[in-house]
Chains A and B, each alone.
Chain A
């Protein structure tokens, strides 16, 4: 007994910490499916992107869920927002560069605060060719908890949010890095 009490393990409690951590890690093993099971759609990384249906600037109907199978860059913007103006040309260039590989860009306009003539003038000025859904009531902005403009969600082909960038303007390289990640490995 005296020998045991004289040992370093008695004087140094660190080994208890390691042992406890080992036991806890083993005890908290989990099924990966169990972690995501029952998760409701939410505007957060690792969750299904909340679905919506809106009318676009050119009168079409766009439902996000129908884009499943393609990675989507979902951008929230308004024509009165300076960083949105700064990043839109890069958004258009990235759309042109990656469109053929299946990347979709959807730029939801905050029409509740942005008169339609201003939206149209903005789209014409920057020559935007991707869909511009109009959020007339602001319900999609609320569902995505958009606190700041611009806000951009990077959604993989399974409809799962992989990255979020709040604020801007985003550098073109960042858009390209994220687009490439979505296209090559599902963004994961």
Chain B
């Protein structure tokens, strides 16, 4: 756990730095690998930039809409730099909406753009896992395993590190898939990278969540983080499976590069 890093008189918030590093590295990697998905590097980089910007603005607007009384009492807070005043779901919805709109404007399938965004998502997954580790969140159940970590009064499963290790392995898998795609003569169908990536990420999250000591639990004893991961996994798996059908293999026109 390392929420802040003190360098002389400077105190730097480690979780925030990790997110910024993830955005920078993820955007760079997505731009570098975009040609392997059949999209122009500069365009992918621009779409990511504008979507992220819109995501931040959308996250604040959703927060204002959700809690209007608080902002009516302190209107200047709308411009506050506090990340805690951002609504994560609102931010993601806005960023995705803007990305889909930009793709449609250029005549690119949103799934093809999603394939190009996978390196960005894979890097963000790693930095997010490290971010929760720095905050001491998503801590594990007590364990006697030799790699247990002492946190919050007990030796616990290092669930954040389990998550991070899986996310690193997924990034390596993404790299291998993109190398294979670059060697192919015909482009794979749109979503060929995105759906398996989402399915594998969700499956790993479901696995790791089983060791968490802070899961929200439903009355029936189901861990809600596992259940939500399972829903995402099943949705992505269905989409992934549909890509295997012969008709989809030939359907390259709608998803071809501009």
> Residues of A at under 8 Å CB distance from B?
8, 11-12, 14-15, 17-18, 20-22, 24-25, 27-32, 35, 39-40, 42, 44-47, 90, 97, 147-148, 163, 165-167, 170-174, 176-177, 180
A8 to B237, CA, bound (A): 13
Q: Which of A25, A42, A46, A173 contacts B223 (CB 8 A)?
A: A25
Q: Which of B73, B154, B234 contacts A173 (CB 8 A)?
A: B73
* Contact status A44-B3, CB under 8 Å: no
* Contact status B74-A12, CB under 8 Å: no
Cβ of B162 within 8 Å of any chain A Cβ, yes or no, is no
Q: Which A residues are CB-close (under 8 A) to B185?
A: none
* Contact status A44-B230, CB under 8 Å: no
Measured CB to CB, the closest approach of chain B to A50, in angstroms, equals 11
Q: Which of A8, A28, A47, A166 contacts B210 (CB 8 A)?
A: A28
* Contact status A166-B200, CB under 8 Å: no
Q: Which of A17, A27, A147, A173 contacts B77 (CB 8 A)?
A: A173
* Contact status A176-B69, CB under 8 Å: yes
Q: Which of A18, A22, A97, A163 has the most CB of B within 10 A?
A: A18
Cβ of B258 within 8 Å of any chain A Cβ, yes or no, is no
Q: A17-B233, A30-B223 are in contact. Are A174 and B85 (CB under 8 A)?
A: yes
Q: Which B residues are CB-close (under 8 A) to A11?
A: 244
* Contact status A173-B85, CB under 8 Å: yes
* Contact status B203-A21, CB under 8 Å: yes
Measured CB to CB, the closest approach of chain A to B104, in angstroms, equals 28
A176 to B11, CA, bound (A): 26
A48 to B11, CA, bound (A): 27
Q: Which of B74, B84, B137 contacts A165 (CB 8 A)?
A: B84
> Can you name the residue of chain A whose Cβ is closest to the Cβ of B80?
A171
Give B184-228 interface residues, CB cut-off 8 Å to A: 196, 199-200, 202-203, 206-207, 209-210, 213-215, 217, 220-223, 226-227
* Contact status A173-B70, CB under 8 Å: yes
* Contact status A21-B233, CB under 8 Å: yes
Cβ of B71 within 8 Å of any chain A Cβ, yes or no, is yes
* Contact status B152-A180, CB under 8 Å: no
* Contact status A45-B137, CB under 8 Å: yes
| Chain A to chain B: the 6 pairs with minimum beta-carbon distance, closest first | A173-B77, A171-B80, A172-B74, A28-B210, A176-B70, A40-B153
A135 to B199, CA, bound (A): 50
Cβ of B249 within 8 Å of any chain A Cβ, yes or no, is no
Measured CB to CB, the closest approach of chain A to B163, in angstroms, equals 15
- 15 of the cross-chain contacts (CB-CB < 8 Å) are A21-B202, A21-B230, A22-B230, A28-B223, A29-B220, A31-B217, A42-B152, A166-B13, A170-B82, A171-B80, A171-B82, A171-B85, A173-B67, A174-B85, A176-B74
Q: Which A residues are CB-close (under 8 A) to B76?
A: 171-172
Q: Size of chain B's interface in residues, with CB distance under 8 A?
A: 53
A17 to B47, CA, bound (A): 32
Measured CB to CB, the closest approach of chain A to B221, in angstroms, equals 4
* Contact status A21-B207, CB under 8 Å: yes
Measured CB to CB, the closest approach of chain A to B10, in angstroms, equals 11
Q: Which of B153, B196, B207, B213 contacts A24 (CB 8 A)?
A: B207
Measured CB to CB, the closest approach of chain A to B50, in angstroms, equals 26
> Can you name the residue of chain A whose Cβ is closest to the Cβ of B75?
A173
* Contact status A32-B3, CB under 8 Å: no
> Can you name the residue of chain A whose Cβ is closest to the Cβ of B207?
A24
A40 to B4, CA, bound (A): 23
A42 to B153, CA, bound (A): 8
> Can you name the residue of chain A whose Cβ is closest to the Cβ of B219?
A32
Q: Which of A20, A46, A170, A173 contacts B214 (CB 8 A)?
A: A46
Q: A17-B199, A25-B223, A174-B85 are in contact. Are A39 and B233 (CB under 8 A)?
A: no
